[in-house]
Amino acid sequence: MNFVTTQEAWRLIDSYITAKLPTEEVFLGDSLGRILVEDVFAPFDEPAFDKALKDGYAYNSQDLQPEVVAVQRAGEDLGRSYAKGECVKIMTGAVVPKEFDALVPVEDAKIVENRLQITAKVAQNICYQGEYLLKGAKILAKNEKITPQIVGILASVGKKKAQVFRKPKVGVLVTGDELVESFSQLEQGKKFDSNSPMLALQIAELGAEPIEYRVVADTLQETTDAIEKAVRECDLVLSSGGASMGDYDYIPKALENLQAKFEFKKIKFKPGKPTFFATVKGTPYFALPGNPVSSFVVFNLFVTRLIKKMLAQDSQPKSFLLPMGKRFVRSIDLDRQEYRPANIVDGKIEVADFVNSGHLQALAGAQGLVEIPAGQKELPSGSKQRFCWFV
């Protein structure tokens, strides 16, 4: 397959078989965004005992004006029992003694001569053992992405570490003799490399580890050597630039030299038609276009899916049909499906100002991409269109 539609490209990526990642153990504090590799089960009932939900008095609802005979604080076992007609002052989170079936909050209680009087209608205010979950219940499923709330759940069952997939190593090569690193090198015709740092953070945002190889010179030898090294060292390799029809675009030739097995060589869409997906010496490889907006968008729509799949995550992008705000009209490449940087303003899609795929500023503040179907010139105001969120 050489020239594929976006649908075909997605299908090829989704059905691509990647090697299973090894696992490792990380401290909870280092686990944000990592992926759990095993189910987690409750080691005890939760709550583990009948628990006071309020600061107040625990009593037996059969008793009238019981006598307060003890104070029960959280985390403490008084190791005593209570006779009929007795009650206990109790703090939130403390064990409710088994003799009691009700708890009146402090604000609804009055103590007169050490006896409890209830001044308002009150709820029970006791959370019974196992009411949240029972010992042995599955509390987290494997392949779940660790968030602060997941860490809270892990910590609540006594875990200090989590078993997670090792982050996939994603190599980034950028090509282009015009790319420089400092102002002193910024002669006429030169420019800074924006794609390396941008791709590195796009990779990191997905929970993978970027390996930046920085700028590769536009020669066949250097390009071939750089790809060969990167595919040896990484689980996935991306290159930016050097992949189209220019005299110094050596990526296609280097891939041929390395006997790459191509999944596709071009995608019928905008921006980023010259995008390759191949296997190079056993490692998946994407050649992304050099233009920064194309590089960003192709990563977002295509590379993201493979990285999510490597991490056992749902690879479907988050997309919604939303009404257009201002009407949008395009004038060229109408035969191609196109994705434009866009925003949601008051629940409506607003297309960002966009000159061409070199116009990186168009992405500032954009929250996603609006899909413009092939053959369509205009997205009328109020018409429902597909909006794909970034990440």
Residues lying near Mg ion in the complex (CB under 5 A): 176, 241-242, 290
Q: What's the CA gap between 286 and 47, in Å, rounded?
A: 50
Nearest CB to ligand AMP, comparing residues 130 and 197: 197
Closest distance to Mg ion from the beta carbon of 223 (Å): 10
Adjacent-strand bridge partners of 214: 173
Closest distance to ligand AMP from the beta carbon of 182 (Å): 14
Q: What's the CA gap between 260 and 3, in Å, rounded?
A: 16
Q: Do 51 and 126 meet the contact criterion of CB atoms below 8 Å apart?
A: yes
Q: Is 75 left (phi over 0), alpha (psi -120 to 50) or beta?
A: left
Choose the one of ligand AMP, Mg ion, none that binds residue 194, judging by a C-beta under 5 to 8 angstroms depending on kind.
Answer: ligand AMP
The answer to whether 171 contacts ligand AMP (rule: CB under 6 A) is no
Of 24-32, 146-154, 191-199, 335-343, which part binds ligand AMP (CB under 6 A)?
191-199
Binding track over 286-325 against ligand AMP, x by CB under 6 A: ---xxxx---------------------------------
Choose the one of ligand AMP, Mg ion, none that binds residue 369, judging by a C-beta under 5 to 8 angstroms depending on kind.
Answer: none
Closest distance to ligand AMP from the beta carbon of 178 (Å): 5
Choose the one of Mg ion, ligand AMP, none that binds residue 244, judging by a C-beta under 5 to 8 angstroms depending on kind.
Answer: ligand AMP
Closest distance to ligand AMP from the beta carbon of 218 (Å): 8
Q: Do 212 and 196 meet the contact criterion of CB atoms below 8 Å apart?
A: yes
Query: H-helix or E-strand containing 117?
Result: strand 115-118
What the block records as the tokens of 365 is 């503040």
Q: Do 35 and 165 meet the contact criterion of CB atoms below 8 Å apart?
A: yes
Closest distance to ligand AMP from the beta carbon of 355 (Å): 13
Nearest alpha carbon to residue 206 among 151, 152, 162, 168: 168
What the block records as the tokens of 193 is 């490399």
Total interface residues for ligand AMP by CB under 6 A: 21
Q: What's the CA gap between 281 and 285, in Å, rounded?
A: 10
Nearest alpha carbon to residue 167 among 182, 189, 145: 145
Of 116-124, 134-142, 190-198, 204-212, which part binds ligand AMP (CB under 6 A)?
190-198
Closest distance to Mg ion from the beta carbon of 238 (Å): 15
Residues that bind ligand AMP (CB under 6 A): 174-176, 178-179, 191, 193-195, 240-244, 246, 249, 289-292, 358
